[in-house]
A and B are shown apart, each in its own frame.
Chain A
Amino acid sequence: MRLKLGFVPLTDAAPLIVAQALGFFADEGLTVELSREVSWATVRDKVAVGALDGAHMLAPMALAANLGLGSEPAPLIAPMALSHNGAAVTLASRLLPAEEPDAAGLARLVRRRKEQDASPLTFAVVFPYSIHNYLLRAWMAQAGIDPDLDVRLTVAPPPRMAELLAGGVIEGFCAGEPWSTAAATRGVGRLAVRAGELWGHAPDKVLGVTDGWAGEDPARLQALVRALLRAAAWADSPAHRAELAHLLAEPQYVGVEAAVIEEGLRHIRFHADGANVPKLQDAAWLLEQMVLWGQAGAGLDIKAAAARVYRPDLFEAATTTPIR
């Protein structure tokens, strides 16, 4: 069976890349072509219209697309979660030169700039519907910064973050690995907080397919989920970290130095603690973030929306069906 799957060059695309490189797709009878994509909107649209069979996706983007937020409504579903805890906030090294890059320090700077009538600081996230947007906002809000009024938020592609930081276009960003470690390695940014530190557990990427594609051939979806599950378990093992970093470093995948990728890998959970089950409470929590920050109306039926997109039943069917 031939499949075309999309991924965005990020460390947490590892399950797809590992399944391809280590032959886990082939073991399930799947011939997969991986397509490297440069933007989340393109990934969403291509899966929605069938130009891709499935993709590595931001969990909130799949939820938003299903609700018709930010695009025409697209029947995207998540039969599997791919990663947790990859997001991190990075501040420009020049921003708080004499102190730790924490939210309280940033709040003092924001207040000082306000008193001086200076322009608001600009921060970038990777997509409006992303854990990165919610992490940056929550981290600011708990220090008393209103992310809608006190700073300017913009969207930029993750590989460009370090360059925007160095060029003074932005003063901080929230993105997935390897981009926070890359900015720190270049000396232009300092890591302020990781999603895992603020929340303990932060759902990040999912496998996104359309409802129709999943229903067309359940055995095909089950084979795909099993291959990715095996790859996620492999990627999660600390014993494979160095080998995984070298694989991801290849130019057709992430294309960043292996040492930088390896450092960031320590903070991502691919498999342990049932991380691959698309849990309804994770979806509900992400939808609550959308309501909290005004992306979705307060009247949103969270339970129904979560259950439409997150499909633990499909995950379970894949893991309990005997392998052909």
Chain B
Amino acid sequence: MRVLVVDPDPARAALVAEGLSGVDPLEVRHAAIFDEHEAALFEPDVVVVAADSPDRDTLDSLREASLANPRPVVMFVDRSEPGLAEEAVRAGVAAYVVDGLAAGRVRTVLEVAMSRFALMNQLRQDLEKAKADLASRKTVERAKALLMKERGLEEEEAYKLLRKLSMDTGRPLAAVASDLLAFAGVLKGGKA
């Protein structure tokens, strides 16, 4: 497990390492300030940061920017903010750690955060794929309807023609269908 601990105080990284002893292989790296470039090179499985760290906005933005390579981020709240962690967890804001970071709980907390993250990531990917599938199916349907109308084809023939175009050009069916619709628009003098 590769863990990046972003905190001005190196003691926190030591605590994380202690809590994870027995995990093998294990690499805990400490950074006083979050550096995107260094973090990308290190490729952590999980990032640990204090909820009141100035680096939070940077980490928060990575959640958007690096969709290609997202990382779970675990935030912990010091005891000086009673109630925040519980409330945040209840509200699903983030994987806040209750009442500071104790060595005895580090492993459980990180594992829960990572599995929850993996689950959410999977759900998001599934949703995106479902959306894309739906969109391309609609495009193919519209292109098929266009061919049936313009060329007087049966539905089955229209589909075969699209599939042939797709195979001849080596491009996905939905892409061929979308081109066909766009060109038809131009030929009719409509919006491209």
Contacts and interface: CB of A to CB of B under 8 A. Distances in A.
A159 B54 contact: yes
A72 B89 CA distance: 11
Nearest to B35: A169
A39 B61 contact: no
A65 to B, nearest CB: 10
B61 A160 contact: no
Contacts of B94: 45, 71
A70 B60 contact: yes
B83 A157 contact: no
Contacts of A138: none
Interface string B38-69: 00000000000001111111101101110000
Contact of A38 (B36, B52, B91): B52
Contacts of A49: 84, 87-88, 90-91, 93
Nearest to B86: A49
Chain B at the A interface: mostly helix, strand, loop or mixed? helix
B190 interface: no
Interface residues of B, number: 25
Contact of B81 (A38, A40, A51): A51
Given A38-B52, A51-B81, A51-B83, A127 B93 contact: no
B51 to A, nearest CB: 6
Interface of A: 37-42, 45-46, 48-51, 70-72, 74, 126-128, 153-157, 159-160, 295
Nearest to B88: A49
Contact of B93 (A45, A157, A159, A160): A45
A38 B64 contact: no
Contacts of A153: 65
B29 to A, nearest CB: 19
A154 B65 CA distance: 9
Contacts of A37: 52
B170 interface: no
Nearest to B37: A169
A4 to B, nearest CB: 11
30 contacts: A38-B53, A39-B52, A39-B53, A39-B54, A39-B60, A48-B91, A49-B88, A49-B90, A49-B93, A50-B87, A51-B81, A51-B87, A70-B60, A70-B64, A71-B93, A72-B93, A74-B93, A127-B57, A128-B64, A128-B65, A154-B58, A154-B61, A155-B57, A155-B60, A155-B61, A156-B58, A157-B54, A157-B55, A157-B58, A295-B64
